[in-house]
Amino acid sequence: MQLQIREKEFEIELAPLIPKHVEYELRPTKRGIYEFGRCHVLVRNFGFFERKFLLEEPLKIPCYPSFIQLRKYQLMATTDRLKEMGIKRIRKIGSTLEFDHVREYVRGDEYRFMNWKASAKHKKLMVNQYQEEKSQPIYSFIDTGRAMRMPFNEMTLLDYSINSVLVLSNAAILKQDRAGMLTFSNGIANHIPAEKRNNQMQKVSEALYSITTLFEESEFGKLYAFANKHINKRSLIFVYTNFETMDSLNRQMPYLKMINKTHIVVVVVFKNTELIQMAKESTHSTIDIYNQIIAEKFVYEKSLIIQELNRQGIQTIYTAPEQLTINSINKYLEIKARGLI
């Protein structure tokens, strides 16, 4: 049963043959589809009589992921206050800019952009104006396998990933890039090709709101086959997944390497903040020492996972779940600045 409300009373006056509308608010705590079935109404009149009505009006209402972070990012971006959110200003590295037009020199312009031919023609200093390369495909691949069921602060890793994908996709579109996504587990679902149309964020939201985790281990082989067939242009791909052991990484590494040959792959690996805290705590008993050693082992194995991914040329985001959105945007801006796409 979803969103049940019991023993809620309304006082209204009912005139003969005149309908009355009663409104009440419900607050869903999870995204997904909420189904409203039968509504039981008990009508009383001064305690003299009561009558029960059964209203058959089935209704399905979608509950979308929270847009709070997305709106906050938009507000900070338009007011040039992204630093307050933890978004870094990254200096452009290399030549990743497209020529826009020639304009008159103003103090502070870089000398390497001087257009001496135009300066001689106009008898004043002129510079080339460039703009950041646009329309680059930015994809989010969301793992919906059992590895994403792990809860942190009443949210699963999948929930954190969905919130991050919303903000990252919107940030890419704001920067005139093309945002796309898909989900994968034992197959591929919810594929949205990378575009920057006006309704692209609506498509992403529609795809994300009803996603749930499955109990199977995700098959990266099918992910590679799909990407190889359907994503032809070199793209920046964020893979929202989680590896807890080197064995789980080694099973999927060949496919990640093959995707990385054609695209820029960024693999998200989540910090287990509870284990990190346990590994740092003071111990007073034998069982505490045992638990701490186990925690240290898992924390160390996470560091090995990151090292192996980086050694294979695959970029990573090693982050606490609550910092995922900020770190994803920073990685996107960093890769754009370095001209890797």
Q: Which band of pLDDT confidence, cut at 50, 70 and 90, is reported for residue 75?
A: low
Find the farthest-apart pair of alpha carbons in the chain and give their distance in angstroms, rounded. 99
Whether residue 191 has pLDDT greater than 90 = yes
Return contacts of 64-67, CB within 8 angstroms, 24+ apart. 64/31, 64/205, 64/208, 64/209, 65/31, 65/159, 65/162, 65/163, 65/166, 65/205, 65/208, 65/209, 66/163, 67/166
The tens digit of pLDDT for each residue in 83-102 reads: 555 556 555 544 456 666 78
- Give the rounded percent of residues in the chain with a pLDDT score beyond 70: 84
Q: Give the span between the Cα atoms of 148 and 313, in whole angstroms.
A: 24
Whether residue 1 has pLDDT greater than 70 = no
Whether residue 227 has pLDDT greater than 80 = yes
Residue 184 CB neighbour total at 10 angstroms = 23
The answer to whether the pTM exceeds 0.85 is no
Q: Give the span between the Cα atoms of 172 and 326, in whole angstroms.
A: 14
Q: Give the span between the Cα atoms of 151 and 103, in whole angstroms.
A: 54
Question: Cα 249–215–27 angle (5° rounding)?
Answer: 115
Which pLDDT belongs to residue 78?
47
**Using an 8 Å Cβ cutoff, are 95 and 73 in contact?**
no
Instruction: Name the range with the highest mean pLDDT among 89-98, 108-117, 248-257, 292-301.
Output: 248-257
Joined tokens for residue 311:
């050694």
Joined tokens for residue 277:
């805290």
Which pLDDT belongs to residue 93?
47
Instruction: Name the range with the highest mean pLDDT among 117-126, 127-136, 303-312.
Output: 303-312
Q: What is the mean pLDDT of residues 241-252?
A: 94
The tens digit of pLDDT for each residue in 26-43 reads: 776 677 677 777 777 778
Which pLDDT belongs to residue 180?
96
Which pLDDT belongs to residue 73?
64
Q: What is the mean pLDDT of residues 295-322?
A: 94
